[in-house]
Structure 1
Amino acid sequence: MRKIYFICFIFMINGLFAQKKDKLNPIEVYEKAWSERKSEARLKIIKTIWLEESTFEDPSASIKGTAALNNVINEFYKKNPDAVFTSGPKVVKDNYVSWDWKILDSKNKLIMAGRDFARLNGKGQVSKIIGFWNPEVTLSESEILNNLEIENFKIVAQYYESLFKTRDFTTMAHLIEEGAVYYQAEGLPYGGKYVGFNEWTKMYAKSAEFFDLEIEKEPVYFSDSTKNEVIIYFTIKTKAKKSGKTLLMPISEHFDIKDGKITAIRPFYFDTKQFAEFLKSKK
């Protein structure tokens, strides 16, 4: 019986090591790409583990795609032609990998140090890498996700400020991804699917024909950084232009965010039917 337990234990350990090796393979290839000096050869390496929607962010760059990553590395070597990379042990958890790294010159002098955080897609490819420049970096996975969450909060807060307070559509336009979708409930007089910021502005103008709006309660923010989603809850005080009546209505708005841009918004009214009837009612 002990022999059976021991054999099972060995199989379990071997399985864990195999899983870890599978997760580390794209990171090993990624590091190999950084060590390759020839641009064409490097691009071939990059394409084996990098997708056109994969992203790279650090204090010097924020890019997407294989050619863009290759260009980042090319530019680095123009400034640091004799750079040598070294990296520390990899920490693997689910589809996340993090590790410390250093860049030395030909005289073994430290050029730069930091920590990278990678998200894998489970198919042997890298979907995102975020690089932190700091020789003392000790960020955990949860702390890095929290940083992403804060950045998403900032984007949504800026959108909210621009729309409801400053009416700054120029600033707002820079927060919206081209082709972003705004979904309004079909039961509303301005309901429908609006694609692209120009269509969004038409929707704002059409909704303004039905009511004046004040913010009764400022938003509360919630987020899931692993899904790049932010949800805000707030209460509006509206005055219907047809009837002159007022109504308080809690609202939640769900934001999808990708690469620092809003890609979709879905508002949910506490009682959509009541709100639609309120807007259409006459004196």
Structure 2
Amino acid sequence: MRKIYFLYFLFMLNSLFAQKKDKLNPIVVYEKAWQEQNSDARLKIIKTIWLDDSTFEDPSASIKGAVALNNVINEFYKKFPDAVVTSGVKVVKDNYVSWDWKILDSKNKLIMSGRDFARLNGKGQVSKIIGFWNPEATLSESDILKNLETDNLKVVEKYYECLFKTRDFTAMATLIEQGAIYNQAEGLPYGGTYTGFEEWTKMYAKSAEFFEMQIEKDPVYFSDSSKNEIIIYFTLKCKSKKSGKTLSMPISEHLDLKNGKITAIRSFYFDTKQFAEFLKSKR
């Protein structure tokens, strides 16, 4: 008799685990949708567990339907393109599921955290999700952008230190994204588009054949953290290797960054024609 009771207990226990797994499945799919950055692929995922009248509410949005939820996630990744969403243990009661979550950046810094409550319809779909934010662990958007701006400036400052002061190309390589693009004015002897840091070093070597350089005025930085871009303005003092003449030329460079690395640089010379003639002139 005891054996029968024990087997019955195991059967009931397995049934409870199976029910919990079934109830958690739509939440697992929901989290998978948040981790998918491709909008079209994400919408397909959402539609498997989201109804036309399913709703989502948090301090930033109140929406209904799969397309609207997909748009919320799209807007989220526009603001935080390198975000990583993580979640804690799920608590299940009847047709409700609750869990804590965190959003981290690419450097594992906390962006925000909170707790979600989901109501399921018992058919493997989500009826409603309400999200609560933890104000003590949530950075404001201005704080997030400020941190991003500071990180980007540090990368750019290190890049120019390697280029003009230490000449440390090994350290510089760690700041450049694979496949990064450098555009130099076509009118210059070393003008053109260079893709990848190896090509960049060839451009640096080619430019060094024409002049010696030093920074005449310290760089001034202008940043737009919402677009992950920095513009730098400085004056370059050059000595032509062909003529021995010197020339000071104001230059600005536009840098794009992503995940703490430089992805593109575009150089603008105050007078490209004058600078090209200066480099080509002979004694």
1:85-124 matches, within 5 Å, as 89-91=58-60, 95=75, 116=103
Residue deviations 1:120-168 (CA, integer Å, cap 9, x gap) = xxxxxxxxx9625897346321221111111111111111111111111
Give the equivalent residue in structure 1 for 2:166.
Answer: 166
Identity of counterpart residues, as a percentage? 60
1:56-205 matches, within 5 Å, as 89-91=58-60, 95=75, 116=103, 131-132=111-112, 136-137=136-137, 139-205=139-205
Which structure has the bigger radius of gyration? Answer: 2
- Read off the aligned partner of 1:184 and give its amino acid letter: Q
Q: Does 1:259 align with 2:259?
A: yes
Q: How many residues align?
A: 198
- The CA deviation at 1:228 is 0.8
- Read off the aligned partner of 1:91 and give its amino acid letter: S
Residue deviations 1:61-111 (CA, integer Å, cap 9, x gap) = xxxxx9xxxxxxxxxxxxxxxxxxxxx95236x94589xx997999xxxxx
- Read off the aligned partner of 1:156 and give its amino acid letter: V
CA contact (8 A) 2:111 2:138 kept: no
SS in 2 for 1:136: helix
- Give the CA RMSD over aligned residues: 3.9
SS in 1 for 2:37: strand
Q: In 2 relative to 1, CA 37–155 (structure 1 residues): closer, same or farther, beyond 3 Å?
A: farther
SS in 2 for 1:146: helix
TM-score (norm 1): 0.59
Segments of 5+ residues of structure 1 without an aligned counterpart are 1-35, 54-65, 67-87, 107-112, 119-128
Q: Distance in 2 between matches of 1:270 and 1:37?
A: 61
Q: Distance in 2 between matches of 1:135 and 1:270?
A: 48
CA contact (8 A) 1:175 1:261 kept: yes
Give the equivalent residue in structure 1 for 2:36.
Answer: 50
CA contact (8 A) 1:212 1:239 kept: yes
SS in 2 for 1:262: strand
Residue deviations 1:177-210 (CA, integer Å, cap 9, x gap) = 1111100100000001101000000000000000
Q: Distance in 2 between matches of 1:48 and 1:171?
A: 35
Q: In 2 relative to 1, CA 130–180 (structure 1 residues): closer, same or farther, beyond 3 Å?
A: farther
Residue deviations 1:22-62 (CA, integer Å, cap 9, x gap) = xxxxxxxxxxxxxx977x98367424662269xxxxxxxxx
Q: Distance in 2 between matches of 1:46 and 1:153?
A: 33
CA contact (8 A) 2:111 2:144 kept: no
TM-score (norm 2): 0.59
Segments of 5+ residues of structure 2 without an aligned counterpart are 1-22, 43-56, 62-71, 81-85, 92-99, 114-133
Q: Distance in 2 between matches of 1:263 and 1:163?
A: 16
Q: Distance in 2 between matches of 1:52 and 1:177?
A: 21
Give the equivalent residue in structure 1 for 2:242.
Answer: 242
